[in-house]
Amino acid sequence: MTRTIPIRSENWLPAVAKAASADTLFKTLPPLSLYIHVPWCIRKCPYCDFNSHEATGEIPEDRYLDALQADIEQALPDVWGRQVHTVFIGGGTPSLLSASALDRLMAMLRTHFNLWPDAEVTLEANPGAAEAGRFKSYAESGINRISLGIQTFNDVHLKKLGRVHDGYQARQAIEMAMSAVNRINLDLMFALPGQTLQASMDDARTALSFGTEHLSIYQLTLEPNTVFAKFPPELPDEDIAVLMEEGIESLLADHDFERYEVSAFARPGARAKHNVNYWKFGDYLGLGPGAHGKVTFPDRIQREIRLRNPESWMQASLLRNASHISEIRQVERSDFPFEFMLNALRLREGVPLELFFERTGFSHTDISSKLALARQKKLLTEDPSRLQATDAGWRFLNELQTIFL
């Protein structure tokens, strides 16, 4: 469903004030993050199921930013006065934006939101769109963390993945990013078409050689509605994929990287704050075409999805009547425990038990039978003060999460 948000109405009151007479489930609201979606890329990769669109000609930067401004203004009532702890600018390929466009975007965020002085501000970038001068300009605008979509350093595998860069450009992009900001993440994939165990380990060793603080490691999966789903390539069998994953994890551990989340490895003190907020069932306001958001109010949790098509989102957003939002859904209270566990159990160390009450309004006694079942199956640790998967629970995470449905 969609709703109309008239500008300059009671909706501009702080959410806490509006809910003063409502049943209060949450005495404190979780940390708030921003997600900004830039939908364009040079070429759609055959494995990609993200909301990305090949740019034909020049990116309509001014129109996109005008629409983003309107999107922000209509979203403000829901988060009025709340501090923003992290910002993630994703895509698509946000590094296709000019330095001046990114500077305007960052100025908009600082004008409308209460950003922490040391807020983590991440920009996704692809090596094929990397320019040293542009990265430095991004840093001057306030970007302090860059996430590079490397995927692999092997030219043969890059070609099979449909990437627009080669291994040399990947190495160059890393050096460019490291000269601009201190915090760098590299995205890598394994179990690629035709990839051997040795080749996957070579990718990990190459990534380590740059000394960056964070690595995101994903197994290639064939997602619905992608070219690879329609024309599936031949992938390494599951046993080889497991050996790749185990070998990479062991290698990274030897280099002081901790696997703190299913797909994330970090040196001490270098975890991605934005992603950790997701896993701890924090709030995030999603802005831009196709962006998803979760916002907690004193009396409810609400999820939103923006229109996916960039042109449709821009047209609707500029009308300023909330028609740019394709879905607004109030999460059923009975679903809070499952949604919390779906996220929190992805963290290797789990979360304190009291966080469950703080973020869901439920007591652990409300799910005591499910906790008992998970512990009986040896999927959850016996520690009564934490919600944490055992080694078996980590291996069979889907089974553990499903217990809380």
Q: Tell me the C-alpha distance between 182 and 213, whole Å.
A: 9
Residue located via tokens 């499952």: 338
List Cα–Cα distances, 98 to 34, 94, 177, in angstroms. 21, 9, 16
pLDDT digits (tens, 9 = 90+) for 2-11: 332 222 233 3
Residues 6+ apart with CB under 8 A from 3: 322, 325, 328
List Cα–Cα distances, 68 to 2, 59, 96, 308, 324, in angstroms. 18, 14, 16, 14, 11
Residues 6+ apart with CB under 8 A from 239: none
The beta-carbon contacts of 394-397 under 8 Å, at least 24 apart in sequence, are 394/348, 397/262, 397/345, 397/346
The 3-state DSSP class for residue 13 equals coil
H or E, element range at 286: strand 283-287
pTM exceeds 0.85, yes or no: yes
Q: Give the burial string for 256-269 (b: 16+ CB within 10 Å, else e).
A: ebbbbbeebbbbee
Q: Tell me the C-alpha distance between 374 and 368, whole Å.
A: 10
Q: Tell me the C-alpha distance between 345 and 272, whole Å.
A: 17
Query: Domains (ranges, CATH) in the chain?
Result: 10-279 (3.20.20.70), 343-402 (1.10.10)
Q: Tell me the C-alpha distance between 79 and 296, whole Å.
A: 9
- Beta-carbon count within 10 A of 327 CB: 12
DSSP state of 363: -
- Packing angle, helices 353-360 and 336-344, rounded to 10: 140
* Residues paired with residue 386 on neighbouring β-strands, in sequence order: 352
Task: Tell how far CA 24 is from the center of its chain.
Answer: 29
Q: Tell me the C-alpha distance between 390 and 379, whole Å.
A: 5
The 3-state DSSP class for residue 125 equals strand
pLDDT tens, the chain, 405 aa long: 333 222 223 333 334 334 333 478 998 999 999 999 999 999 889 898 888 998 888 999 999 999 999 999 999 999 999 999 999 999 999 999 999 999 999 999 999 999 998 999 999 999 976 777 799 999 999 999 999 999 999 999 999 999 989 999 999 999 999 999 999 999 999 999 999 999 999 999 999 999 999 999 999 999 999 999 999 999 999 999 999 999 999 999 999 999 999 999 999 999 999 999 999 999 999 999 999 999 999 999 999 999 999 999 999 999 999 999 999 999 999 999 999 999 999 999 999 999 999 999 999 899 999 999 999 999 999 999 999 999 999 999 999 999 998
The pLDDT score that the predictor gives to residue 378 is 97
H or E, element range at 139: helix 132-141
- Beta-carbon count within 10 A of 375 CB: 16
pLDDT digits (tens, 9 = 90+) for 98-142: 999 999 999 999 999 999 989 999 999 999 767 777 999 999 999
